[in-house]
Amino acid sequence: MPVVVDLPFRATPIRRVAAVVCSDEPFGKSPPNEAVLVRLKERAAALGADGLYRVSYTRTGIRECGLLAGRAGRAMAFKSAR
């Protein structure tokens, strides 16, 4: 599934997808962006999307992962015109 900066020509946005990945151990390192991207792609695929654009990442706080380090991601899922 491609990840692009801008919406491709004649593609249709489906909806925004979000994912959070938490560390395996307390006070451990924050998971890499690639781990979040895998989850974003899984959620987009479940919607029937062909790709993602406007992907962004942030570190999480206590609300998302408690005392575990975490990383969150958001992106827009799109369907390509055929």
Q: Could you state, in order of their start, the residue ranges of all structural domains in the chain?
A: 3-79
Element (H, E) at 41: helix 33-46
Task: Give the pLDDT confidence score for residue 48 in this predicted structure.
Answer: 95
**Distance separating alpha carbons of residues 16 and 76, to the nearest angstrom:** 4
Q: In angstroms, how far is the first alpha carbon of the chain from the final one?
A: 15
Q: Select the CATH number that applies to the domain covering 3-79 from these four: 3.40.50.620, 3.90.1310.10, 3.30.110.70, 3.40.50.2000.
A: 3.30.110.70
Task: Give me the pLDDT at residue 44, please.
Answer: 97
Phi first, then psi, for residue 26 (nearest 5°) are -60, 140
Q: What are the backbone dihedrals phi and psi of residue 53, each rounded to the nearest 5 degrees, phi first?
A: -145, 165
Cα distance between residue 63 and residue 69, in whole Å: 11
21-43, pLDDT tens digit by residue?
999 888 778 899 999 999 999 99
Q: pLDDT tens, 45-58?
A: 999 999 999 999 99
Residue 14 has pLDDT above 80, yes or no: yes
% of the chain with per-residue pLDDT over 90 = 74
